[in-house]
Structure 1
C-alpha cells in the first residue's frame, strides 16, 4: 500500500504544559475552526481516495473526486458511509496504512452483524488521548485526581479510551472496568476517587450497591461523574446528581469515528457536548431524505474525521438523532443537543414513533418508580402492545407504586400519544448491565 504524498497537517501535541488549561485549538474562533477544517478536509479526501480502495471505488461510482472539494459546502458532493461500508471491508481492507504502522485494533461487539474494526496509528492514539483529556478537563476533572474507570476494557473503545485520556490529563486511573458491583463499591470507599467514569445506568446500579451495604452514596469522595456510551436525559442527570451529590456531565463518541472524546460537556454550563471541530466535521441530515439540515434543526448526526491516519472516516452516518447548536463555553465548536434516540432504535407502536429515552424522561418524573425498567413489545391479537416492566423504589408500597404507574401511563398517552401497560417489579429484581443497557425487548414476529 502506498502512503499518500500529501502530509498530514496535524501533528499531535500534548495538552498545554499547564494541563489544567485549555488547548490552543480548543479556544479557536469559529472562523479559525472553519479555515482549519477546509485544509484538513482537503487532505482527508485525497488521503482516503489515494490509500483506501473502498473509498476510491465509492467516489468513482458517485462521479466525484477529491479535487471537486473547493469549499466546506462541497462536502455534500461526497457520498455517505455507514457500518455496512466498514463491514464489507472486514477486517482490514478499510485501512489506509500498512499493518506495520498500526498500534492498536478495536472492534464492535458484532451483535447486529459483522463487527466493525477500527485501528489506530501512533499519531491517532496521541490525538485520541489528547481529545479525551480535553473532554475530562472541560467537565471538571483535574490533574492529580484519582479516577475510577468503570467503562468496559477490551475491544470496546470506552475503557482504554477513557484510561489513556485520564492519564494524559495527569490523573491516577483505577482501571476497574465494568461488573463486580460489590467490588466497585469497595474500591470507591477505599481509594476515595474524585471522579467516576461509567454509563449512566450502571452508575445507578453502583448506587444500589452502596445501599445494599447500608452506605449512603451521597457520602463518598466523588465530586464528578463523566458518563457516556448510551443516550441519557436531563431527568437522568438530576437523578444521578441527587443520588451521589456529584456534577454529572456527558461525553460522546463512537468507535468508528474515534471512540470516546469526539465531544464533551462543560461542567460549568452543562448545556450539551461541544464537538471538537478541529478534528471532526459534523452534519445533521434528514434520515429519510438524506438532505443536510440547517443548524438547530433535528436529524441524524453525520461525521467526517479530519485527522485520522489508520481509518479515514468520511460522512459517516451515526444513526444518532440530535441537532447542532452554536457553541457557548467554546464558541468556535458547535454543540450537540441531547441525543433523543437512534434512527435504528425507534419503536413503531401502532403507528406512533417513540424512543426509550422518551419513556425514561417520563419515568424519572414519577417519584414512586425507580429508573430501572425494560420495555417489552409484543403483538397479541395482531395489535402491538408495550409493557413497561419497572421496579418500585425502596420504601414505596405496592399501592403507591401502582398509583405512580397510572400517572406514568397518563403522561405517556398525553405526551407521546401511545397506550401502554405497566407491570411493577420488586426492587433489585430486574437485570442490571455493567455496559450499554438494553432497554427494549421486541418479541413481535419478524417480517
Structure 2
C-alpha cells in the first residue's frame, strides 16, 4: 500500500528536479550556519553555488562518524538550540555517542517517512502495532511510534525486554504488526514456544525488522516460526532514524529509499570513488530536507548496492539491496573478507541448526583463527556423538566452500548463546589489531 501517491510514484525526471532544488538549499544553509561544513567546503575550493547538477555532489567532501564525534555534542547543528525539540544519540559503543537533533518539522518529516514504511508493510488505520524497538535515546522506538500515530494505527509502546509479558500482550491485545530487531523476533518465537503459544493462533500479518543485518534465510525462519510476512526496514540516527528505506509487501526485493528526502550514493570504501548502479560498495547519504541536523555525504559504512529498476509496487524510488554487513564490522580472516550475514546464510541451509550463532576471532602465532559457535536443536543434541561430529564437519566444509575461509565449528546446546533484546552480538574479536 502506498501512503503518499504523489511523491512515492514521481517520474524520475520530476524526482531529480526536486532533489536538486532541495540539495542546493541544504548546501547553502549548512555553509552559512555550520562552521565545520563551511571549512570543509572551503578546504576543497567548493561553494554551494558551484552545484549545478546532482552529479556535482561528488565534488563535496564526505562526512564521517568521527566528524560527528569531533563536534560533540551540538557542533553540527544547523539551527539554534531553541529550535531543537528532540535530541537522540547513538549507543556510543566506542568513544562518545553521536548526537542528533530535530526541529518540529523534522519530527513531522520523520513521522511521515515511518507512516510510509508501515504502509509498505500493509499497515492501515485499523491495525494494532506491537512496537518492541527500544524507547529512549535510540531512535527506533519513538520513530516507529510517531509513524504509527501519523498513520492513524493503534500503537502498543512495549519497548524491549519482559519477553514473556510481551507474548501475553500480543495474545491479549490482538496486535497485527510487529516491529523489532530480527534477532529479537526469533527470541520472541522461542519464548512463545516455551509458553505453549503458537504464533499461528495470533493475529500478526506482517513485521518490520531492522537495526541489524539479516539474511534471506533468517527471513524464512522468522516467517515460518511467526506466521507473518517479514520485511526489512533501514535507517540510522545520523540520517534521521528508521524510515530511510523499506521493503514493500508486494515485491520484498530491495528497500525503497525515500529519495525525496535523501540522496544515496555507492562508493568504493577504499578510494571514495562513486560506483555505477548495481555495484556493491559503501552506502553514502545526503539529507535534503533535515533542518536541525543535515548530513552531507555521510559514510554509513553499510555495504550494499542500488537497483534503479522499476518495482511492481509502483514506487519509483531506487531500491537498495539488503545490507550484507558493515565495512567497519567486516572481519578480515587471513586476507578473506567475512561478514556475519554470510556465515548465517550457510548455517540456515543446514537442518537441525538454530538461528543463533557467534563468531569468535583470535590470533595465535600471528595467524587468525575463526571459531563459529552454533546452536543446534534439542533433537540434534540428543543424537549420537558421531552424528554431531558429522554435522560439525558439514558446517566446516560448507563455510570453507562458500567463503573460502577455514573455521573451527563448535556445536553448542540450545540457549547456550546469550540472547539479546536489541542488536544481537554476533562477533567477538579478541585480536589486538
Please state which band the TM-score falls in when normalised by the shorter chain. Answer: over 0.9
Q: Which residue of 1 aligns with 2:403?
A: 416
The residue matched to 1:379 in structure 2 has which SS?
A: strand
Give the Cα separation in 1 of the matches to 2:200 and 2:209.
17
1:132-143 matched pairs, under 5 angstroms: 132-143=114-125
Counterpart CA distance in 2 for 1:81 and 1:226 is: 29
Q: How does 1:88-99 map to 2 (within 5 A)?
A: 88-99=70-81
Alignment correspondent of 2:10: 28
Q: Secondary structure at the match of 1:73?
A: helix
**Distance (whole Å) between structure 2 residues aligned to residue 22 and residue 76 of structure 1:** 30
Whether the 8 Å contact between 2:163 and 2:191 is mirrored in structure 1 is yes
Are 1:361 and 2:348 an aligned pair? Answer: no
In 1, Cα distance between equivalents of 2:405 and 2:2? 48
Distance (whole Å) between structure 2 residues aligned to residue 114 and residue 165 of structure 1: 29
Indicate if the aligned counterparts of 2:3 and 2:116 stay in contact, CA closer than 8 A.
Answer: no
What is the DSSP-based 3-state SS (H/G/I as helix, E as strand, rest coil) of the residue aligned with 1:24?
Answer: helix
Do the aligned partners of residues 22 and 331 (structure 1) sit closer, same or farther apart at CA in structure 2, a change above 3 Å counting? closer
RMSD of Structure 2 on Structure 1 (CA): 1.3
Distance in 2, matches of 1:272 and 1:262, equals 13
Instruction: Summarize the Cα distance change of 1:401–1:306 in structure 2 as closer, same or farther, 3 Å threshold.
Output: farther
Residue in 1 that maps onto 2:277: 295
Q: Is residue 324–residue 341 contact of structure 2 (8 Å, CA) maintained in 1? A: yes
Q: Secondary structure at the match of 1:109?
A: coil
Tell me the secondary structure at the aligned position of residue 225 of structure 1: strand
State the alpha-carbon separation in 2 of the partners of residues 48 and 214 from structure 1: 55
Matched residue of 2:214: which SS? coil
TM-score using structure 1 length: 0.94
Unaligned stretches of 5+ residues in structure 2: none
Residue 39 of structure 2 is aligned to residue 52 of structure 1: no
User: Using the alignment, how far apart are the partners of 2:96 and 2:44 within structure 1?
Assistant: 25
Match 2:255 to one of 259, 273, 283: 273
- Counterpart position of 2:67: 85
- Is 1:148–2:130 an aligned residue pair? yes
Conserved 8 A contact 1:226-1:248: yes
2:21: which partner in 1? 39
Report the alpha carbon displacement of residue 398 of structure 1 after superposing the two structures with TM: 4.4
Shift of 1:251: 0.7
| TM-score in terms of structure 2 length | 0.96
Aligned length, in residue pairs: 428
- Say whether 1:391 aligns with 2:375: yes
Q: Does residue 416 of structure 2 align to residue 439 of structure 1?
A: no
Pairing partner for 1:372 from 340, 343, 356: 356
* Cα separation, 1, equivalents of 2:379 and 2:129: 33
Whole-Å Cα distance in 2 between the matches of residues 162 and 254 of structure 1? 13
**Structure 1: segments with no counterpart, 5+ residues:** 1-18
Q: Aligned residue for 2:393?
A: 406
Pair 1:188-2:175 in alignment: no
Aligned 1:208-287 pairs, distance under 5 A:
208-287=190-269
**CA–CA distance in 2 between the matches of 1:402 and 1:155?**
45
